[in-house]
Amino acid sequence: MVNFKERVLCYPEYSKQFSCGESLITIFNCPPEARLMKTKFAGLWSHENYIFYVLEGKKVWHTAHGSYEISEGSCVLVRKGACILEQFFDIGFCLVLFFIPDQFICDTLKSRSVPIAKTGRQYEPVISIRSTETLKSFFISMYAYFSGTTAPDRSLLELKFRELILNIAENRDNVEALSYFCSLMNEPQSVALERIMQDNYCFNLKLEQYAALCNRSLSAFKRDFQKQFNSTPGKWLLEKRLQQSLALLSNNGKSVSEAAFETGFENISHFSRCFKQRFGFSPQVAKNTAAS
């Protein structure tokens, strides 16, 4: 899968970029000819959360929890993790995009005079942000920076990042986003690890990438994973994907290729071999049995 942020950084000719520290980058991406991913369905992952405002066009984010169509006027928070991006090449896609790591969000929210209240609300991988006049004004102000010929000072960019987070937190209608922010600040590491794995097991990520999502080194990730799941990451991921593929074939009417793709297997032959070793029959037999 493609690292979203790294791919964007590879194409500065398609977007004007401002950095704020090593882990923060802002992007204004508009030209219709910009095709960072060349296929209609592209696998993306990001170890940082990203927030964007769509000025025109649409795309669809496909996640383990459902699909989300994002179109003109949408303001969205995408939690760090993986997704399949569906693109529409016949229309342009213009947005203002912010990559913001967990720690920056937490540090910003801790500076509030009034702590954010826990909501208890469940949150999705893609979270819609209520577009208020204040938030619209913020993005308009950012557009002015991108129209200039010189980059803003780093300290000013940091203030703009903090302003964005505080604007979102200030609006009590952003219940889902506030719930996610609370989890970043208060969630035990063991809970965060399990949530990240449940949200991303169906994507073909490397163990190093899962470790990055969990804010751990690879060795710490393996150690903590073994302690929590009583299994290695590789064995757990394979079992989880195979069980999900069986459900897709038996209950959802998916084809063998669809079941393989939707559970992170990029090679159908490998999928069929693992499936038969685990269940004693082929994926096609599972599909035929369900259909009869």
Q: Going by C-beta distance under 8 Å and a sequence separation of 6 or more, which residues neighbour residue 236?
A: 197, 225, 229
Tokens 């929890």 locate to 65
Burial of 69 (0-12, 13-18, 19+ CB in 10 A): exposed
Cα dihedral 216, 99, 131, 167, rounded to 10, equals 70
DSSP 57: -
pLDDT given for residue 62 in this prediction:
92
Cβ neighbours for 92, distance < 8 A, ≥ 6 positions apart: 30, 31, 32, 56, 57
Q: Which residues contact 153 (CB under 8 A, 6 or more apart)?
A: none
Q: What is the pLDDT of residue 36?
A: 58
| pTM (two decimals) | 0.88
Q: Are the C-beta atoms of residues 94 and 56 closer than 8 Å to each other?
A: yes
Complete domains list, the chain, with CATH = 2-186 (2.60.120.280), 190-292 (1.10.10.60)
Closest among 46, 51, 179 to 109, alpha carbons compared: 179
| pLDDT at residue 212 in the model | 94
Q: What is the pLDDT of residue 35?
A: 57
Strands 41-46 and 2-3: parallel
Q: Residue 23 has what pLDDT? A: 57
- For the chain, give the number of residues: 292
- Per residue of the chain (292 residues), what is the pLDDT tens digit? 889 888 887 777 767 788 777 556 776 565 555 555 667 888 899 999 999 988 888 899 999 888 999 998 899 999 999 999 988 877 778 888 899 999 999 999 999 888 887 777 789 999 999 988 888 888 888 877 877 777 788 888 889 999 999 999 999 899 999 999 999 998 898 899 999 999 999 999 999 999 999 999 999 999 999 999 999 999 999 999 999 999 999 988 889 999 999 999 988 999 999 999 999 999 999 888 877 6
**Helix, strand or coil, per DSSP, at residue 160:** helix
